[in-house]
Structure 1
Amino acid sequence: MVRLLRSPRLLAALAGLLSAAVAVGIGEVIAGLVRPAASPVIVVGNRMILLTPESVRRWAISVFGTNDKHALLTGIYVAIGLASLGIGALAYRRLAAGLVALGLFGGFGAYCALTTHAHRGSDAVPSIAAGVAGIGCLAVLIRSLRPRPAEAGVPSGVRRRSFLQAGAFAAALAAFSGLFGRNLQRTRYDASAARAAIPVPSVSTSPAAPAATYDLGKSGIPFVIPNDSFYRIDTALSIPQLNPKTWNLRIHGLVEREITFTYDQLRSRPLIERWITLACVSNDVGGDLIGNARFLGVRLADLLEEAGVHPGADQLLATSADGMTIGSPTAVVMDGRDAMLAIGMNGELLPVAHGFPVRMVVPGLYGYVSACKWITDLEVTTFARQSAYWVAEGWAQRGPVLLESRIDFPRSSASLAAGSRAAIAGVAWDQHVGVSKVEVQVDNGQWQQADLAPVPSTDTWRQWVLPWTVPPVGVHTLRVRATDAKGVVQTDHSTQPFPSGATGWHTISVRSR
């Protein structure tokens, strides 16, 4: 620490870091006045998502799962910190060059703000303000370190004390502005208060979970996944905060008549409530990017029939409030399944993180071609005319969910007592087709048929359990396969999720002792 205080160059690097922190904090405050999505860090992150190769995005999801956004933001903060240290050192040698470098960061933020999906002109303001604040702070801190001609006789210790005083003020400003800015954003834009003030609509028949579902101790997973545990995969670094009083959905394009619905109009229509399992196409065999919930909403086919879909319009292009586009096959939505615009989830209104006030849910399709959260626009079009975001990145165009099964209990590498009575259990799914049989193989023995729990419909996953006696001491291999309601057996051919979903038998190893 003493050496640090005696090294002007190290103090200059610290000045760069403090200046960047002040810039980020001021950017957060201004974003609180503009909108949270305009935060400099958020707009840079959103631009990075657009620039990142699809292969890298797939890698990030496979490694970080639902924490991929936290990993990206952490990486951005680390990059800002490292770059700012270099800018501070540069500014000590050539102040003008350091100020220009820091200004370029603000300019880059403004560029990102104006080139992301669903951007507004005002989104550049927080980045510009951040750049100006950072430049001003860096200039003050570096000048407190560098001797000027009029201060030729001032001892270096006095200059260091001056720097430390200015640096302490900058650190306090960065901390205060960052916290105040985030709080301002929550206060002005948080949709939770509006959501809490809206009563949950009731329906005449609310489906109950099957009475004979296996409990957590046996199956490893409950039939219904709570809202706060439900997986979330999307590109929204800043969760859209939509006011239900001003929200509306426009249905247009290749239709006989364009129609627009407000939130109240949608809530007042006949509602349906269904158990539906949602799955992410990025889910690896045995992965957890899947969940089952009770969704409440308006049947989407009814709205499309009112609009009058033109023959040949084979795609429904949904757009989220954050600019994300998701394309669903029109024929699938209109074939009688319970595709809906959902407003509720597991007995409450949609959580903000899962699409409040309205999202799309289509049983039998992976989320990237069906589950548009924070939906604000639905264009009836064709696949030939427009490609949705993920399809443009190389993913399959239509995305039907593939037949899969998973072992949840015992866990991979578990240690079990040889000769004890236990269970092998998990879930299997083939939404809108259904699962008729699940079989388990221990080592290379015969396939054994598991017991299946009842399900309310073919649109949910199905729990299964196989009682067994743990084999003698050693390492043992367990694998599972399912058969769908049409008699099709799950393939053992192993493929990666890209471009149309993972396949293969989930296989784990356990040890008996």
Structure 2
Amino acid sequence: MLPVTERQRTREAAAGVPLGALIGLLAGAAALGVAELAAAFTGPRSAPLIAVGGTAVDLTPEWLKDFAIRTFGTHDKQVLLGTVAAGAVVCAALIGVLARRHRVPASGGLALLGLAGVAAALTRPSTTAVAAVPALAGTAAGVAALLLLSARAARAAAAHRACGDRRGFLFGAGGTVLVAALSGTAGRLLAGRRSVAGARRNLRLPAPSSPAAPLPAGAGLRVPGVTPFVPPGRDFYRVDTALVLPQVDPGTWTLRVHGMVDRPFEITFDELLRLPLLERDITLTCVSNEVGGPYAGHARWLGASLPELLRRAGVRSGADQVLSRSADGFTASTPIETVMDGRDALLAVGMNGEPLPIAHGFPARLVVPGLFGYVSATKWVVDLKVTRFADDRAYWTRRGWADHAPVHTMARIDVPGALKRVRAGWVPVAGVAWAQHRGIAAVEVRVDGGPWRRAHLAPVPNTDTWRQWFLEWDAAPGTHRLEARATDATGAVQTERRADPYPSGATGWHSVVVTVT
């Protein structure tokens, strides 16, 4: 049997673990609150959680990024930030437990976490030294709170009957909570003042000098469950690297066009709106889209001609790419030959009759039909550098994705859905197909590996859009496999060969298995 004093020490040590964890969590909350307040002045991307999250995105291997997009879809960013926050909570709790006996090493551990935040903030694209301020301020607040609370907890433990010591710890803990809450709330309120939602709401776009023709009658098939030809804006897919939406004020926005050009120039948003604006129906597709996946969307875009902007600058011989950069530092590389081949490549300012949503690039973005978005659809664009692929690499191409990324010919079955149960008899099989800038000439469907049957195609306004298709199937009871394939207007048939999205987009026939009763 242990001596009484040893038993007491063991009991006190065990009881000190939850208290130490609480101290660490309170210190971490103070650190994050103060950091958020500082980030309201230096920019939201400099907040430690956002900066660390952005670095995590950059360092994540491609297979894990694909898994996150497939598994979590448009919620992948929330999952990432939640994971970073959970890691911070665990680290703070462990540091607090360590501080119950070793305050100096624990403070050093918290300082190291702060330095990681500093490093992450300083390595973000288009950043300055001021980005380190939130992490430094937060670290100072966190270390101060850790030392204060652990010291008061130690005094209370040494004289546990002294109410004054307990009261001192409670006062310290309450003060720390107050600092964390007030600074965090103030930071969020101040950051909200950066929002450009009001500027977007008040913006009135000019009428297009070249309006799009009305959609042909029947472009949207009235088949329940088929994706609308023009989906509601809230349903338009969003895949990008921005953990916080850039808030770009159109009043201060400029686009710089430079590099291998004869006449570099800058243009303001007001000047952009005074240019001839084109209105065009264009379907975009993300390279992360799996076969049959949801990351394709259609909209009516309004914007200035990108080829005309490049002609104004005077592209020099030897240049083969436009390296575009967004306000948050993301870059994309677009082949110049594709931009200049006659397609309606746009510097877009409008989407479906309204200014661009903030989530989709307000105030300006690129839209180049026929290419996957990672080389053609830079949101919040602020810079166009005419250069060569041999000299400059963009965000995704540095990570092994293809330089030239034409969208593949693809058909998707929307109805019946995978693993659905349908009644025997005539069943509608319908969906969408796309081969932007080539156009869809045919869609075929087969059942259980049988003969291919041609589907009815809805009319489309141009070859840059997706196309709805429809087939009636006389379904017999049992379990059946439906497959679809498309043929583009060049005569190329969608390949059966299965390939993952990396490095140049997924390929293969889309199929669903259904049960007929």
Q: Which residue of 1 aligns with 2:6?
A: none
Q: Which residue of 1 aligns with 2:93?
A: 85
Of the structure 1 ranges 441-450 and 339-348, higher mean CA displacement relative to structure 2 is found in 441-450
Q: Is the contact between residue 306 and residue 339 of structure 2 (CA under 8 Å) also seen in structure 1?
A: yes
**Aligned-pair CA distance for 1:162:** 4.2
Q: Is the contact between residue 404 and residue 481 of structure 1 (CA under 8 Å) also seen in structure 2?
A: yes
**Aligned-pair CA distance for 1:452:** 0.7
Is 1:369 equivalent to 2:375 in the alignment? yes
**TM value normalised by structure 1:** 0.95
Q: Which residue of 1 aligns with 2:346?
A: 340
Cα distance in structure 1, aligned partners of 2:321 and 2:512? 40
2:155 match: secondary structure: coil
Cα distance in structure 2, aligned partners of 1:172 and 1:319? 41
Q: Percent identity?
A: 47
Q: Is the contact between residue 159 and residue 165 of structure 2 (CA under 8 Å) also seen in structure 1?
A: no
Q: Is the contact between residue 437 and residue 483 of structure 1 (CA under 8 Å) also seen in structure 2?
A: yes
Q: How does 1:391-470 map to 2 (within 5 A)?
A: 391-419=397-425, 421-470=426-475
**Aligned-pair CA distance for 1:5:** 13
Q: Which residue of 1 aligns with 2:120?
A: 112
1:196 match: secondary structure: helix
Cα distance in structure 2, aligned partners of 1:159 and 1:447? 83
Instruction: Show CA shifts across 1:232-288 (max 9, x none).
Output: 111111211111111111111111111111111111000001110111111100001
Q: Is the contact between residue 4 and residue 11 of structure 1 (CA under 8 Å) also seen in structure 2?
A: no
Q: Which residue of 2 aligns with 1:251?
A: 257
Q: Is the contact between residue 366 and residue 378 of structure 2 (CA under 8 Å) also seen in structure 1?
A: yes
Cα distance in structure 1, aligned partners of 2:170 and 2:513? 58
Of the structure 1 ranges 387-396 and 46-55, higher mean CA displacement relative to structure 2 is found in 46-55
Is 1:315 equivalent to 2:321 in the alignment? yes
Q: Which residue of 2 aligns with 1:101?
A: 109
Q: Which residue of 2 aligns with 1:481?
A: 485
Cα distance in structure 2, aligned partners of 1:152 and 1:4? 11
Instruction: Say which of 302, 310, 325 aligns to 1:296.
Output: 302
Q: Which residue of 2 aligns with 1:127?
A: 135
| Residue segments in structure 2 that go unaligned for 5+ positions in a row | 1-10
Quickly say closer, same or farther: Cα 1:212–1:4, change in 2 above 3 A.
farther
Instruction: Show CA shifts across 1:471-506 (max 9, x none).
Output: 21x211111000111111111111111111111000
Is 1:501 equivalent to 2:487 in the alignment? no
Structure 1 segments, 4+ long, off by >6 Å, are: 3-6
1:25 match: secondary structure: helix
Q: Is the contact between residue 405 and residue 506 of structure 1 (CA under 8 Å) also seen in structure 2?
A: yes
Measured on the aligned residues, the alpha-carbon RMSD in Å equals 1.9
Cα distance in structure 2, aligned partners of 1:166 and 1:7? 19
1:261 match: secondary structure: strand
Would you say how many aligned residue pairs link Structure 1 and Structure 2? 506
Q: Is the contact between residue 226 and residue 346 of structure 1 (CA under 8 Å) also seen in structure 2?
A: no
Q: Is the contact between residue 16 and residue 97 of structure 2 (CA under 8 Å) also seen in structure 1?
A: no
| Residue segments in structure 1 that go unaligned for 5+ positions in a row | none
Quickly say closer, same or farther: Cα 1:18–1:141, change in 2 above 3 A.
same
Cα distance in structure 2, aligned partners of 1:4 and 1:485? 78
Of the structure 1 ranges 429-438 and 210-219, higher mean CA displacement relative to structure 2 is found in 210-219
Q: Is the contact between residue 4 and residue 10 of structure 1 (CA under 8 Å) also seen in structure 2?
A: no
Instruction: Say which of 20, 27, 52 aligns to 1:12.
Output: 20
Kindly provide the amino acid, as one letter, of the partner of residue 443 in structure 2.
V
Q: Is the contact between residue 218 and residue 465 of structure 1 (CA under 8 Å) also seen in structure 2?
A: no
**Aligned-pair CA distance for 1:170:** 2.7
**Aligned-pair CA distance for 1:377:** 0.7
Cα distance in structure 1, aligned partners of 2:507 and 2:464? 19
**TM value normalised by structure 2:** 0.94
Instruction: Show CA shifts across 1:325-359 (max 9, x none).
Output: 10000000000000010000011001111111110
Q: Which residue of 2 aligns with 1:194?
A: 199
Cα distance in structure 1, aligned partners of 2:225 and 2:437? 22
Instruction: Say which of 335, 354, 363 aligns to 2:360.
Output: 354
Cα distance in structure 1, aligned partners of 2:218 and 2:502? 36
